[in-house]
Amino acid sequence: MGYTVAEKILKEHLVEGEFKKGSEIGIRIDQTLTQDATGTMAYIEFEAMGIPRVRTEKSVAYIDHNTLQSGFENADDHRFIGSVAKKRGISFSRPGNGICHQVHLERFGIPGKTLIGSDSHTPTGGGLGMIAIGAGGLDVAVAMGGGTYYITYPKIVKVELKGKLSPWVSAKDVILEVLRRMSVKGGVGKIIEYCGDGVKTLSVPERATITNMGAELGATTSVFPSDERTLEFLRAQKREEVYKEISADPDAEYDEELVIELDKLEPLVACPHSPDNVKTVKELEGMKIDQVCIGSCTNSSLLDMMKVAYILRGKTVHPDVSLSIAPGSKQVLNMLSRGGELSDMIDAGARLLESACGPCIGMGQSPNSKGVSLRTFNRNFLGRSGTKDAQIYLLSPETAAISAITGVLTDPRSLGEMPQFELPATFIINDNMIALPASKEEADKVEVLKGPNIKSYPETSPLPESLHITCSLKVGDNITTDHIMPAGSKILPLRSNIPEISKYCFSVVDEKFPERALSLGTSAIIGGSNYGQGSSREHAALAPLYLGIKTVIVKSFARIHKANLVNAGILPLTFANEADYDKISAGDELCLDNLREAVKSGNTVTLKDKTSGIEAILNIELSEREREVILEGGLLDYTRERIK
């Protein structure tokens, strides 16, 4: 039997376990990336492990999320990360150099390599034929120390792309179509692998848009083959020496199949408040809009920006609309400047933002009350923009740009004939904003600079024999990490300070939760299905840990969040019978007896609800290794004992 692209790369990196769907495998990690909002915690954890220097082939620390610097906190974090990077052998992409995924694709990604990043959109690297996976900061810290990374051996979904996109229909529409068909839960436990004759019609940045937003499917990752288009991109980046062809064997077997006829696709839009709530632009055409934001790690490549500039050329942004544009990297910005496209944007009245995440993570540009905002981003969760009653629509740069001119949602196909947009044969290569680490000899002299807002990792404790606790919160289905631990300009600067950031835990759902949980001492959360979807932020586990949450009992979990709970030593449990969810209420007294024994060797544990009198069977869906981690009180304690 032949292998798929994903299987080939995983096989080459396999260090533990066997290729059996659903079982845990351990893989060797070649590269890591961090961004600043998750990075400080990852480096606090790395420092706590006591390893002098990273053991990966390449580790890069990016600054791109927290760049508003409205107080000292962000600048202190940047300095902290920069100093750890210098000391520990990590390249440091300075603020202004661009969004981690865009820069990594341009400058560091290598076909056939494995990458984990403390950001859920790390699968962007799949556009280059990498196995690139989003993970919690602690997993990344362990991988930096040379430790193995564990995943459940995924199912592989074949997405066959046929034909060629019609004019003004773009890569964003491809992934919106996949989301429409598979939903935000459809990718859990799966790798999405693209193939078919349509693949060669897409350049690497277009492929990267598709793999990037595969994160919204809940997928482990997404991957494209590495072919002549990959070589063309690497050559333009003056990195052709890292090229390696990788394609699926003709007799490779897949677990599921999906066919997308590119010619038949039309411009699509994801409506509030979920990336899978997809409609055609035609269905909503004419909707009045207040804001357009172009950028983010999904759609900020040079190709995207060239199309936007073309559409804006000689026009003026509609008087009722605010248009902001954030090119994805210094390289993109510089190319736009050299090619004159930047001037088209400025002339049209675009508000230029720095090359960073910005409005995507609620750092500025919050829409007006009840505002309708069109964004080329990947997430439109409730409140993420910073305006709770705003309506956020996700779409392609082409649809965004034309709508900014007309003031209403507009189908870009109304632009008529489309010119050929070609990537340049060479990009401007200038890595002067990537600070290299100190040599081994010099590293000792480098001081790690910690600001006053940088606090230590919360206290953990081994799993007790039994838990007699109160249910401090009950929530419904599809709870995102933006519900659990919101971001935005007020809260994001607190990412290095768990006691402070915990005050906002679940604040969009129930402002009283942190106070209540703290006064209870220890407690449990009950949730519905796909609990913890979205970001990789381990703060969505560390804040509950600090607030005394011992277990989270839900219908089902999203992958990264479940791993983060285990890493934090919080026991994730699922209802054997989903109907039991309805029988438990917030405030109920819950008992889990003989818990250590059950976690050690059982698949279930019985929950007794002393308030309602019911009993419910809960599944313990953990690997051997995860069981040990939980019993010991979390991955930090577990790793300290083992990695030396």
Q: Which of 118, 36, 65 is nearest to 357 (CA)?
A: 65
Indicate whether 120 belongs to the interface with ligand MIC (CB under 6 A).
Answer: yes
- Cβ closest to ligand MIC, residue 296 vs residue 551: 296
Indicate whether 132 belongs to the interface with ligand SF4 (CB under 6 A).
Answer: no
Indicate whether 385 belongs to the interface with ligand SF4 (CB under 6 A).
Answer: no
Indicate whether 54 belongs to the interface with ligand SF4 (CB under 6 A).
Answer: no
Q: Do β-strands 589-592 and 467-474 pair in parallel, antiparallel, or remain unpaired? A: antiparallel
Please work out the total of residues on this chain that contact ligand MIC, with binding judged by CB under 6 A.
14
Alpha helices in 125-248 (DSSP H): 137-144, 171-182, 204-212, 228-236
Name 611's Cβ contacts closer than 8 Å, sequence gap at least 6.
Answer: 585, 587, 588, 589
Indicate whether 119 belongs to the interface with ligand SF4 (CB under 6 A).
Answer: yes
Query: Given candidates 81, 213, 297, 350, which one binds ligand SF4 under the rule CB under 6 A?
Result: 297
Contact 408, 392 (CB under 8 A): no
- Cβ closest to ligand MIC, residue 203 vs residue 480: 480
Name 190's Cβ contacts closer than 8 Å, sequence gap at least 6.
Answer: 154, 155, 156, 157, 217, 219, 220, 255, 256
Buried b (16+ CB within 10 A) or exposed e, 493-526: bbbbbbebbbbbbbbbbbeebbebbeebebbbbb
Alpha helices in 70-170 (DSSP H): 72-88, 100-107, 137-144
Known catalytic membership, residue 379 = yes
Mask 100-119, x = binds ligand MIC (CB under 6 A)? -------------------x
Known catalytic membership, residue 537 = yes
Beta bridge partners of residue 59, listed in sequence order: 32
Known catalytic membership, residue 535 = yes
Mask 371-390, x = binds ligand MIC (CB under 6 A)? --------x-----------
Indicate whether 325 belongs to the interface with ligand SF4 (CB under 6 A).
Answer: no
Query: Given candidates 357, 392, 565, 584, which one binds ligand SF4 under the rule CB under 6 A?
Result: 357
- Could you tell me which stretch among 146-154, 343-351, 354-362, 577-585 binds ligand SF4 (CB under 6 A)? 354-362
Query: Given candidates 41, 44, 219, 361, which one binds ligand SF4 under the rule CB under 6 A?
Result: 361
Q: Which two tokens stand for residue 362?
A: 């609620």
- Could you tell me which stretch among 108-116, 301-309, 529-537, 616-624 binds ligand MIC (CB under 6 A)? 529-537
Burial class (CB in 10 A: 0-12, 13-18, 19+), 234: buried
Indicate whether 155 belongs to the interface with ligand SF4 (CB under 6 A).
Answer: no
Q: Which two tokens stand for residue 340?
A: 């004159």
Q: How far apart are CA 379 and CA 376, in angstroms?
A: 9
Mask 534-553, x = binds ligand MIC (CB under 6 A)? xxxx----------------
Indicate whether 438 belongs to the interface with ligand MIC (CB under 6 A).
Answer: no
Catalytic residue among 535, 539, 588, 609: 535
- Cβ closest to ligand SF4, residue 361 vs residue 473: 361
Q: How far apart are CA 24 and CA 625, in angstroms?
A: 9
Contact 528, 480 (CB under 8 A): no
- Cβ closest to ligand MIC, residue 56 vs residue 296: 296
Indicate whether 331 belongs to the interface with ligand MIC (CB under 6 A).
Answer: no
- Cβ closest to ligand MIC, residue 4 vs residue 536: 536
Alpha helices in 454-529 (DSSP H): 481-484, 488-491, 498-501, 513-520
Question: Residues 496, 500, 503, 505: what is their CA dihedral angle, to the nearest 10 degrees?
Answer: 10
Q: Which does 99 bind (CB under 5 to 8 A by kind): ligand MIC, ligand SF4, none?
A: ligand SF4
Q: How far apart are CA 340 and CA 335, in angstroms?
A: 8
Secondary structure (3-state) at 547: coil
Indicate whether 361 belongs to the interface with ligand MIC (CB under 6 A).
Answer: yes
Active site residue ranges:
64-65, 119, 379, 535, 537
Site residues, ligand SF4 (CB under 6 A): 65, 99, 119, 121, 296-297, 357, 360-361, 377-378
Site residues, ligand MIC (CB under 6 A): 37-38, 65, 119-121, 134, 361, 379, 487, 534-537
